[in-house]
Amino acid sequence: MHSAAFQAPCYDLAATLDCGQAFRWKRFQNGWEGIVGKRWVYLEQQNETISAQTIVNAGDWLWLRSYLQLDAPYQEIISSFPADDSIKAALTHCRGLRILKQDPWECLATFILSSTKQIVQIKQIVELLCERFGDKIKSGSGIAYSFPGTEKVAQISEEDLRACKMGFRAPYLKGTAEIVAAEGLDLEGLSLAEARERLMTLPGVGRKIADCVLLFAYGCPLAFPVDVWVMKAFKDLYFKRRKLNLKKALKFSESYFGPYGGYAQQYLFHYRRTILPKKSNG
């Protein structure tokens, strides 16, 4: 076992790992187990410290610092939000919620699988895909599985993919895997709009999924995924007596929330999904 400890002030590890931006973390012992790249990792938080354990040599741990975004300018981020009552409430509800920096292919693939699925189901589909087609990895509880790469997924038959319960998303995943295996996924040097446009050429990838990938894997803090929960949050909090459609929501998302809008999005998403539904779901 290899261990390390990291200072992590204002970091809510549980909220961050379980808020629906990543789908492979599981509660384990007093913390969380997951796979980052080809490594199994156990994470545990105690106050302002996050401790980590791996089975294989963890090297300099920079891969984990990057994944957890431990060096993100958190105070700068949250103080850049508009100071309205809705943002304040969302911040109070989940202070310390962070945005991870995931592997681009895994993020892209899992969000292709996410459309019109509940988060618990997305996790099940991803787990099946990894168990059947990922590489075996030693874990703290026995065996875990890596996320299968583009070449691997491109080789799987649509039938076998559907058997992982992904339904109509199977040809999208396979098609995107084929393209990314051949062409890569390098968005270096592209503007946000160009990167989004490029991602949206892939099968099964529209505006929402493109923005998820840009926010959760490429570190673009202006990407702002608008999904059903964000629409509900906007209606409840910002468009109470006004009509709202997707186009208006996108315009509002781009103009109102500032340079770290994507972070604000995640706070509103988590707030609306975990607190407000108990009051009303319309």
Q: Which of 105/172 has CB closer to DNA?
A: 172
Find the shortest distance in angstroms from Cβ 281 to DNA: 7
Contacting residues for 227 by C-beta, under 8 A, at least 6 apart: 208, 269
Q: Which of 119/137 has CB closer to DNA?
A: 119
Give residue for tokens 């039938």: 159
The answer to whether 99 and 69 have CB atoms below 8 angstroms apart is yes
Q: Which of 240/247 has CB closer to DNA?
A: 247
Q: CA-CA distance, 105 to 10, in Å (whole number)?
A: 29
Find the shortest distance in angstroms from Cβ 265 to DNA: 6
Q: Which of 19/78 has CB closer to DNA?
A: 19
The answer to whether 66 and 217 have CB atoms below 8 angstroms apart is no
Find the shortest distance in angstroms from Cβ 174 to DNA: 12
Find the shortest distance in angstroms from Cβ 52 to DNA: 23
Find the shortest distance in angstroms from Cβ 60 to DNA: 29
Binding site for DNA (CB under 7 A): 19-21, 111, 114-122, 124, 162, 165, 167-168, 172, 200, 202-210, 212, 225, 227-230, 232, 245, 247, 265-266, 269, 273
The answer to whether 100 and 216 have CB atoms below 8 angstroms apart is yes
Find the shortest distance in angstroms from Cβ 199 to DNA: 9
